[in-house]
């Protein structure tokens, strides 16, 4: 089991990789997949296919429990506003193993104009 906390809302979710995928947005077990399952508002204007930057999150803790960033994510992320060394795209970063992951959501669904 892993634990994911989404800031600034502070919602903490317990996740079990055996239950992936939760839905059909983002990679199975991605931060976006987990957020949607737990009703955490996280923008995902392209639907979770690494084609926008609205699902940008900044990892505050537990980046070692996230999948490695691939080239597509890296290229896409380069265009994100407010990019940091701890930035990830929530639809591409998959929670692996069991640990505490804490991420800061940069844009909610409402802020992105999504539903
Ligand atoms: S939702 Fe568009 S890149 Fe993640």
- Domain count for the chain: 1
Listed residue (100, 104, 79) closest to 90, CA to CA: 104
- pLDDT value of position 3: 97
- Give the domain extent around 53: 2-112
**Res 115 pLDDT > 80:** no
What CATH number is associated with residue 73? Answer: 3.10.20.30
For residue 25, the CA-to-ligand 1 centroid distance in Å is: 9
Is 21's pLDDT higher than 70?
yes
Q: What is the pLDDT of residue 6?
A: 98
Tens digit of each residue's pLDDT (9 = 90 or more) over 49-88: 999 999 999 999 999 999 999 999 999 999 999 999 999 9
pTM (2 d.p.): 0.96
Q: Which two tokens stand for residue 67?
A: 């999948």
**43's tokens:** 């923008």
Average pLDDT over the chain, rounded to whole?
A: 95
Q: Distance (Å, rounded) from C-alpha 69 to C-alpha 31?
A: 13
State residue 114's pLDDT score: 66
Q: What's the average model confidence in pLDDT over 17-29? A: 94
Q: Quickly count: other Cβ atoms within 10 Å of residue 94's Cβ.
A: 21
CA of 51 to the centre of ligand 1 (A): 6
Cα–ligand 1 centroid distance for 2 (angstroms): 23
User: Candidates 54, 78, 106, 114: which one to mutate for ligand 1, based on the most atoms within 8 Å of Cβ?
Assistant: 54
pLDDT value, residue 103: 98
In total, the chain counts a number of residues equal to: 115
Provide the pLDDT for residue 97: 85
Q: Answer whether 57 contacts ligand 1 (Cβ < 6 A).
A: no
């Amino acid at each position: 089991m892993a634990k994911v906390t989404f800031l600034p809302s502070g919602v903490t979710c317990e996740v079990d990789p055996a239950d992936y995928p939760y839905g059909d947005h983002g990679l199975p077990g991605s931060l976006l997949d987990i957020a949607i399952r737990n009703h955490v508002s996280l923008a995902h204007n392209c639907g979770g296919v690494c084609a926008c930057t609205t699902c940008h999150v900044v990892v505050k803790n537990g980046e070692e429990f996230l999948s490695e960033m691939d080239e597509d994510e890296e290229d896409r992320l380069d265009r994100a506003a407010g990019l940091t060394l701890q930035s990830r795209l929530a639809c591409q970063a998959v929670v692996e193993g069991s640990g505490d992951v804490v991420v800061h959501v940069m844009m909610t669904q409402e802020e992105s104009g999504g539903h």
